[in-house]
Amino acid sequence: MPRRPPGALRAVVPGGRSGGEVSTLLIGACPGPSACAAVHTYLFVDGLDLVARSDSRMAGLDPGRLLRPGGPLYPTDMPGRVDVAAQERPESGPDRLSIRVRLRGETVVWSDVMYPGLDGRVIEEVRFRLEQYLSEVERAYEALADRL
């Protein structure tokens, strides 16, 4: 089966973004007890919860693990596989949600993602501007520092 060009893999999102344009990352965290058993990370790509849309059985991993300076979400020239979520309750199927993170020039690329966009098309890869991406990871880490 021929591979579709990356521009065909992105969903249309609010604000007119579509095609091969860059996405926006927003990171949040569950407060932990008593709302949840533990603190976990939310990764919103263009306003969509990547973890919940990818696999509703999963919960984002601890922000201290994902967001720490030099941690797994920090991109490098060599692609790296990053676990971003794990199953909350044992069920059949994969017990981890992983993505590939790499740096390509001034662009951070997440590949091997698989979730439905707003229009129902499957999103397999997203790109972020390096400056926005790093600023958001650092902002989220600092905002959560007291809980980490």
Which tens digits make up the pLDDT trace of 43-85?
A: 999 999 999 999 988 989 988 889 999 999 999 989 999 999 9
Q: Residue 96 pLDDT more than 50?
A: yes
- For the chain, give every domain's residue range: 21-144
pLDDT at residue 20, rounded to an integer? 62
State residue 95's pLDDT score.
81
Q: Is the pLDDT of residue 15 over 50?
A: no
User: 31-62 burial string, b = 16+ CB within 10 Å, else e?
Assistant: eeeeeeeebbbbbbbbebbbbbebbebbbbbb
- The confidence score (pLDDT) of residue 29 equals 82
pTM, two decimals, is 0.78
Q: What is the pLDDT of residue 2?
A: 37
Q: How confident is the model at residue 93 (pLDDT cuts 50, 70, 90)?
A: low
pLDDT exceeds 90 at position 6: no
- Calculate ∠ Cα 119-46-91, nearest 5°: 75
